[in-house]
Amino acid sequence: MSSLDKAVATQIANIEKKTGKSLDSLREALAESGKVKHGELRSWAMETFGLGHGDANTLVHIALKPVGGNAAGESAEDVLNAIYTGKKAHLRPIHDALMAAIEGFGDFEVAPKKGYVSLRRKKQFAMLGPKTNDRFELGLNIKGEAANARAKPVPPGGMCQYIVALGDSSEVDSDVIALAKQAYDGAF
């Protein structure tokens, strides 16, 4: 099981503990809610089960996909393998090192996209993935000043306020982890 799959499994286990219901019971409740659209289901789950935005969003994503895979039949590992393929394959260890560190922060939602992975609590705090064939980027949403100069400010209007460029997993050091933690802590 990939670190991404482990993070989602941990989040689902926490949702089951918070609600006192199994995933199957939660799926059934969502199906019987009378809601159809993702946002409506998420809001309903937040109100009905007292879940935060991230947990309710993950629950709806999981509930709407067929048991055993996502709507396209891909696992989280399949999505990561598609992102880190060919000339970008050598960047996967950077992703894995970052995820291993970030998983220690606490609960968050992992949302794989076509070319990157989004991490969110109540709101997105990080984006990670290959920027080019030779450069990996960690995008961070940090309120105020970044903890250290490794984070470069991005002009307003982008999806993140800061970017940390990485070329090797050895660059995932205490400074980078501190920046990720600062973004995580601000996304409650």
- Within 13 A of 78's CA, how many CA atoms are on the CB side? 8
The whole-number pLDDT of residue 69 equals 42
Q: Is the pTM of this model over 0.85?
A: no
Report which DSSP code applies to 139. E
Query: With contact defined as beta carbons under 8 Å apart, do 107 and 121 qualify?
Result: yes
What residue has token string 């993950």?
58
Domain locations in the chain?
A: 3-64, 87-185
Helix (H) or strand (E) holding 163: strand 162-166
Q: Note down pLDDT in tens along the chain; length 188 residues.
A: 566 777 888 888 999 999 999 888 898 899 889 888 888 899 999 999 999 988 998 898 887 765 444 444 466 777 888 899 999 999 999 999 999 999 999 988 888 888 899 998 988 999 999 999 999 999 999 988 998 999 999 988 888 999 999 999 999 999 999 999 999 999 97
What residue has token string 């048991």?
67
